[in-house]
């Protein structure tokens, strides 16, 4: 299988880039399944239903969230009827929605996607390691699921690295989101799990993590809020990671970062077209 994961979509610029470029990437490289993190897609915080549908229409099979999952209040209601929208699995019991979902891909493959929220430098949350372990136990890789993707939304690279080694050999891909900065540590771990500490963002990189520079700079320099953070509206770069799995095991045999358009463009240099 060929799987594509796109990092945090930020604002209108990120949404437009996904809509314009994702269908072509799917056709060009023959991706069987696509996951997109959409937690910053609506005005930089949260995800309204029309923007969720836009990501789905562009080709996302599953849309994941993070610490801004419910910043747009309407998400509390529509997430219940949208099985392809998942929030962190380690939210408290009773939180609307679901944290893991099995979805059939374009060629009938069964893909389990799990979303989890980290605890280092993040708001208090239940243990992500045990929550993810429980989720994958219900659909073992190579037995029930043909592929398993874990989106770990966390601040610290050490925590995402720990999750990668914790799940090595049991899932197809562990990828970090949240910091909006793509890392250069993509690799296949010893047990066969694809790993990247942060996929980066789908947004305008001529910014401060997707935000117009004025207000973040003001707060760093003065410590006094002077307005809202506003998503930057320049040309976005699509950032993410692609893997190809072994059909017999569901583990990764090849991994490649994706950076398309904007200031960081680098289109899957080691990934053959189909």
> Catalytic residues, which ones?
68
Return d(Cα 37, Cα 159) in angstroms, integer: 19
Task: Write out the H or E segment, with its range, that includes residue 78.
Answer: helix 75-78
- Give residues with Cβ within 8 angstroms of 252, minimum separation 6: 172, 173, 188, 192, 193, 194, 243, 244, 245, 246
Helix (H, G, I), strand (E, B) or coil at 132: helix
Tokens of 104: 């059939």
E strand residue ranges, 43-192? 62-64, 85-86, 100-104, 110-117, 147-153, 173-177, 187-188
Helix (H, G, I), strand (E, B) or coil at 52: helix
């Amino acid at each position: 299988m060929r799987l594509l994961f796109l990092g945090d979509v930020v604002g209108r610029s990120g949404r437009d880039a996904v809509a314009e470029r994702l269908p072509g990437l799917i056709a060009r490289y023959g991706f069987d399944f696509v996951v997109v993190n959409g937690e910053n897609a609506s005005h930089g915080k949260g995800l309204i239903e029309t923007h969720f549908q836009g990501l789905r229409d562009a080709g996302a099979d599953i849309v994941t969230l993070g610490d801004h999952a419910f910043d747009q209040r309407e998400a509390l209601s529509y997430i219940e009827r949208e099985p392809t929208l998942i929030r962190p699995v380690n939210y408290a019991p009773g939180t609307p929605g679901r944290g893991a979902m099995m979805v059939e891909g374009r060629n009938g493959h069964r893909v389990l996607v799990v979303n989890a929220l980290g605890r280092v430098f993040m708001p208090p949350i239940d243990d992500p390691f045990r929550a993810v372990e429980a989720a994958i136990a219900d659909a073992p890789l190579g037995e029930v699921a043909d592929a398993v993707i874990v989106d770990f939304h966390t601040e610290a690279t050490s925590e995402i690295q720990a999750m990668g080694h914790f799940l090595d050999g049991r899932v197809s891909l562990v990828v970090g989101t949240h910091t909006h900065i793509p890392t250069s540590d993509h690799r296949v771990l010893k047990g066969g799990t694809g790993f990247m500490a942060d996929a980066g963002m789908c947004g305008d990189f001529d910014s401060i993590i997707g935000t117009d520079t004025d207000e973040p700079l003001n707060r760093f320099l003065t410590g006094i809020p002077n307005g809202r953070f506003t998503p930057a509206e320049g040309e976005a770069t699509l950032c993410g990671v692609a893997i190809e799995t072994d059909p017999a095991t569901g583990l990764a045999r090849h991994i490649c970062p994706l950076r398309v358009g904007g200031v960081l463009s680098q289109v899957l240099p080691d990934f053959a077209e189909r």
